[in-house]
Amino acid sequence: MPGIILRGQTWHFRWVVPEEFRAVAGKREIHKSLRTDSRAEALVRARDYESELCGRFEAALAGSPTVKDGLEAFNKAIRIARGLGVPYRFAKDLAGGRVEDILSRVETAQAISPDASNPGAVAAVLGGVEEPGLRLSQLADHVDEIATDENRFKNATQLRKWRNGNKRTLTQAIEAIGDDVLVRDFTAEHAMKHLLWLEKRVARGEISAESVKKELTYASGCFKRYYRAAGMAHPPRPYAGLSVSKGTARLAHKPRDARRKREFSVDWIRETLLAPGTFDGLNPEARDILLICVETGCRQSEIYNTPLADIHIDGPHPYLELRPAVGLRELKNGASERKVPLVGVALSAMERVVGRGGFRTYAGKDTWSSAVNKYLRERGVMPEGHTIGGLRHAWEGRMRRAGIAIDERGIMMGHSVSLIRDREEYGDVTLAERHELAQRIALDVADPLGDLGDRVIAAPRKRRKSSRKIQDKDGERGARPSL
């Protein structure tokens, strides 16, 4: 079992190399940064890296290079060639090209290594390193490794969803084309077969057209990262230009109201949701997140994935700072990075959160909305067709009805103002101005949990109708007769 060591705020891998591998490893211990401040994620990465090292050393002892070794050699050759001012080309492609190009490369190779003391550079210039035979079924794991730095902000849940999305779409591509082809042999025709296979699933009602778009994005991203890591200036783009056909889109079309989360009315929020006793039975963190949603319009994950250091409840303008945090959260986009004013019941709730030491129950998870939706439905207070995500839409609706300009609403919601204005964004809205906007729409209600603290009052269970069944003499089940 590998060890992990915390250095500063980053976990590091520490592994004592087993005796049988030390000859090929060339060292007694291996250390490597795991690029995360999450202990749970560090343990997962450490186990994965240990398995990878064992596989590489076992292969080295057996005399057979691994796919990873081949990829590293290939990528290194591309980088060397690029550094020498020539694009990497395979020897077989050079042989079929112009004689002048071959002679020019030979001269370059002789100039940098006249005594053949640098075989790696010579091989890079003359195309002597073969591209490794990576297959579709291996691509997701390879992309996971080469995107480590890109994914440094994702928490364990976000990383799991991203990995699963890549693996799922590549597994679907293999099923669609009927073969686990080499990545370099995957063409636009294969990508089209994948799209058509997905559209058939839409026609059968198994997935939505929106799901198809997500699968194409995952697949396209895998190939883009693979070729970018290889340093190819003009890589193949098998999924370029592919989109759901109009016929399929119409087939899966839903009215706009059915696709978007329904907005809660202010009357329902004030008189039902914030009525005393409505969510006394929820755990303290869940109900405080709910109150913060009411008066901030934040996405739920933006709230409970916020570290304690980014919650500022002191000073004249308390606020929640939304920004990426290594290993803790990756925001949806650049516009989502913002300062969110805390007013009304949101401020009271956040003070309780800080008193508990921050968000602990739901941080890094995605279970809050399902728990709250279930609770409110069981209590019979959730309007038909609504989900708790409608609080974000309700907050924007309150701003719109208060006459707040669309670009200011976009800033408060974390939307791209440059897209709203269709031009570059200049200047910023100060924290004081954001507070003024939030105060304009804040609900004039008392904190429904003010006297409750962290106590939980169990909600009375609904009585279920039941009739005991008995077996009659003919073997059929029937209701027990009344006596």
Taking only the tens place, the pLDDT of each residue in 309-360 is 999 999 999 999 999 877 677 887 777 889 999 999 999 999 999 999 999 9
166 or 261, greater pLDDT: 166
Claim to verify: residue 142 and residue 100 sit in the same structural domain:
no
Claim to verify: residue 78 and residue 59 sit in the same structural domain:
yes
In a domain? residue 158:
yes
Question: What is the structure's pLDDT at 47?
Answer: 85
* 421 pLDDT tier (thresholds 50, 70, 90): low
Radius of gyration of the chain (CA): 29
Query: Which amino acid, 166?
Result: N
Say whether pLDDT at 222 is over 70.
yes
* 396 pLDDT tier (thresholds 50, 70, 90): very high
105-123 average pLDDT score: 80
Claim to verify: residue 68 and residue 149 sit in the same structural domain:
no
In a domain? residue 145:
yes
**How many separate domains does the chain show?**
3
Question: What is the structure's pLDDT at 478?
Answer: 43
Claim to verify: residue 115 and residue 163 sit in the same structural domain:
no
Phi, psi of 479 (to 5 degrees): -75, 145
Say whether pLDDT at 29 is over 60.
yes
Provide the residue count of the chain.
483
From residue 203, alpha-carbon distances to 152, 193, 199, 212, 331 in Å are 38, 15, 6, 12, 33
Claim to verify: residue 121 and residue 141 sit in the same structural domain:
no
Distance between CA atoms of residues 322 and 302, nearest Å: 7
Residues 190/137, Cβ–Cβ less than 8 Å: no
Per the prediction, the chain carries an average pLDDT of 83
In a domain? residue 261:
no
**Is residue 128 exposed (0-12), middle (13-18) or buried (19+ Cβ within 10 Å)?**
middle
Domain range for 159 is 136-249
Claim to verify: residue 160 and residue 72 sit in the same structural domain:
no
* 88 pLDDT tier (thresholds 50, 70, 90): confident
Angle between helices 67-83 and 39-62 (to 10 degrees): 90
Say whether pLDDT at 306 is over 60.
yes
Which single residue is written with the structure tokens 């995605």? 366
186-210 average pLDDT score: 92
Say whether pLDDT at 389 is over 70.
yes
Query: Which amino acid, 93?
Result: D
Say whether pLDDT at 10 is over 80.
yes
Question: What is the structure's pLDDT at 350?
Answer: 96
| CATH code for the domain of 370 | 1.10.443
In a domain? residue 259:
no
* 93 pLDDT tier (thresholds 50, 70, 90): confident
In a domain? residue 34:
yes
* 477 pLDDT tier (thresholds 50, 70, 90): very low
In a domain? residue 297:
yes
Claim to verify: residue 420 and residue 291 sit in the same structural domain:
yes
Claim to verify: residue 154 and residue 196 sit in the same structural domain:
yes
Claim to verify: residue 92 and residue 238 sit in the same structural domain:
no
Of all residues in the chain, the percent with pLDDT exceeding 70 is 86
Question: What is the structure's pLDDT at 362?
Answer: 93
Say whether pLDDT at 14 is over 60.
yes
Question: What is the structure's pLDDT at 89?
Answer: 80
* 465 pLDDT tier (thresholds 50, 70, 90): very low
Distance between CA atoms of residues 290 and 292, nearest Å: 5
| Boundary-marking domain end, from 126, 150, 169 | 126
Lowest mean pLDDT among 15-29, 228-242, 256-270: 256-270
In a domain? residue 447:
no
From residue 59, alpha-carbon distances to 52, 54, 63, 66 in Å are 11, 8, 6, 6
Claim to verify: residue 326 and residue 424 sit in the same structural domain:
yes
| Boundary-marking domain end, from 186, 214, 249 | 249
Lowest mean pLDDT among 38-42, 134-138, 247-251, 402-406: 247-251
For 22-28, which contacts have Cβ atoms below 8 Å and span 24 or more sequence positions? 24/57, 24/60, 24/61, 25/53, 25/57
473 or 381, greater pLDDT: 381
Residues 33/326, Cβ–Cβ less than 8 Å: no
DSSP per-residue string spanning 275-325: STTTTTTS-HHHHHHHHHHHHH---HHHHHT--GGGEE-SSSS-EEEE--B
Claim to verify: residue 84 and residue 208 sit in the same structural domain:
no
Distance between CA atoms of residues 337 and 333, nearest Å: 7
Question: What is the structure's pLDDT at 228?
Answer: 83
39-68 average pLDDT score: 74
Beta bridge partners of 329: 325
384-392 average pLDDT score: 92
Say whether pLDDT at 466 is over 60.
no
366-395 average pLDDT score: 93
Residues 222/172, Cβ–Cβ less than 8 Å: no
Say whether pLDDT at 402 is over 70.
yes
| Boundary-marking domain end, from 126, 155, 187 | 126
Question: What is the structure's pLDDT at 289?
Answer: 96
172-199 average pLDDT score: 94
In a domain? residue 173:
yes
* 464 pLDDT tier (thresholds 50, 70, 90): very low
Claim to verify: residue 403 and residue 375 sit in the same structural domain:
yes
